[in-house]
Amino acid sequence: MHDELARFEAYLRTRGLRMTRPRETILRTFLETEGHLSADALLRETRKVDPRIGQATVFRTIHLIAEAGLAREACNDEGARTYEHLAGHPHHDHLRCSQCGRIIEFCDPEIEQRQAAIFAQFGFEPQGHMMELTGVCPECRRAMVARRSRQ
Amino acid sequence: MHDELARFEAYLRTRGLRMTRPRETILRTFLETEGHLSADALLRETRKVDPRIGQATVFRTIHLIAEAGLAREACNDEGARTYEHLAGHPHHDHLRCSQCGRIIEFCDPEIEQRQAAIFAQFGFEPQGHMMELTGVCPECRRAMVARRSRQ
DNA sequence: CAATAATTTGATAATGATTCTCATTATACG
DNA sequence: CGTATAATGAGAATCATTATCAAATTATTG
Ligand SMILES: [Mn+2]
Ligand SMILES: [Mn+2]
Ligand SMILES: [Zn+2]
Ligand SMILES: [Zn+2]
């Protein structure tokens, strides 16, 4: 946590920007929340600490946090963009149920390795990737089967 | 092309919907265009054929086309959602240059295989996936190196 | 074919997320 | 302090997408 605050401040300095009270409140709140968070959800959480923080500031700050390498976009399927922080949170990808929205996080070393190979094959300098598998989770499958047999 | 029109009509029938003039014009135009297309771009193309087609109809129809399994969302990074048709277009994923926006299409059998294994591992019924690698393409890397050494 | 029911269309308004504008406030630094 | 610079928050603006609804199309039936 301290580590992240320091890293954020360092990043801001390299860009001639300042670590301010609202920025610190937003970052602390963000780091305390696990899971995927939209800007709006982050605004609500942040306002529990300081109710006069503005929406625009949250949008501006979450961008800065991502640029500083402390967060990344999680999913962007529809509706609001969501972010997840990277503190004590190793890299992973997402498996999502299209029926109930449940998200499972996983990491597959073989896939990661192949991805690196593809960057190399096309001469790209790697920056990142996003992979999301979509399907129907076991619970929802059961519910679907039950519904079908009832009819 | 004929094949796709027939498949679309069949899909519409299963839902009690009708194959109409605007829907056919939109689908034909979509199939004639290679690459990734936003609803707005598709509207512009379609209006070259029939200028009085409405924007709402294009949004509605591209949804139906995707539901019918004739198209999928391509990328949705920012700005407008884009679609690509699946006719004579085998499955692939995307490698995108963050500097110039260039997109390379590729398919890696090993990754596809591991993805199937992950669906199985968590008991999910697979529906699809989206994977996008982001990096800097060779041209843009050269340009960046050149700029740096000039300073 | 006429009559009727159902679906589709396009213009327009509404929505929701994000970004912009700008007057006011906070911060850094000599 | 005093001055310069950056940041803030309220509200307006923007952009993609969806909803609304009266008019037009299409299918179905007698
Ligand atoms: Mn996650
Ligand atoms: Mn493609
Ligand atoms: Zn589920
Ligand atoms: Zn490039």
Query: In this structure, are B97 and B80 located in the same domain?
Result: no
SS3 A51: coil
What's the structural domain count of chain A?
A: 2
* CATH number of the domain to which B120 belongs: 3.30.1490.190
Query: In this structure, are A79 and A97 located in the same domain?
Result: no
Question: Cα(B134)–Cα(B125) distance, rounded to whole angstroms?
Answer: 28
Give the domain extent around B120: 93-150
Number of Cβ atoms within 10 Å of the Cβ of B67: 12
Is the predicted pLDDT of residue A53 greater than 90, yes or no? yes
Among A62, A85, A108, the domain boundary falls at A85
What is the pLDDT at residue A9?
A: 96
Query: In this structure, are B19 and B81 located in the same domain?
Result: yes
Question: Cα(A31)–Cα(A60) distance, rounded to whole angstroms?
Answer: 16
Q: Which residues pair with A83 in a beta bridge?
A: A37, A73
Among A85, A103, A136, the domain boundary falls at A85
- As given in the structure block, the two tokens for residue B139 are 């041209």
Q: Which residues of A touch B126 (CB under 8 A)?
A: 133, 135
Would you say A112 and A95 are in contact if contact means Cβ atoms under 8 Å apart? no
Please state whether beta strands B93-97 and B125-136 pair in parallel, antiparallel, or not at all (unpaired).
parallel
A57 touches strand C (CB under 7 A): no
Of A28, A15, A13, the residue nearest A87 (C-alpha)? A28
pLDDT in tens, B126-145: 999 999 999 999 999 999 88
Does the beta-carbon distance from B136 to A115 stay under 8 Å?
Answer: no
What is the pLDDT at residue B146?
A: 82
A57 touches strand D (CB under 7 A): yes
Question: Cα(A57)–Cα(A60) distance, rounded to whole angstroms?
Answer: 5
Query: In this structure, are A79 and A112 located in the same domain?
Result: no
Q: Does the predicted model carry a pTM greater than 0.85?
A: yes
Query: In this structure, are A70 and A126 located in the same domain?
Result: no
CA of B123 to C1' of D27 (A): 44
SS3 A127: strand
pLDDT in tens, A13-43: 999 999 999 999 999 999 999 999 999 999 9
Query: In this structure, are B26 and B56 located in the same domain?
Result: yes
SS3 B97: strand
What is the phi/psi pair of residue B70, to 5°?
Answer: -95, -5
Among A30, A50, A85, the domain boundary falls at A85
Query: In this structure, are A77 and A100 located in the same domain?
Result: no
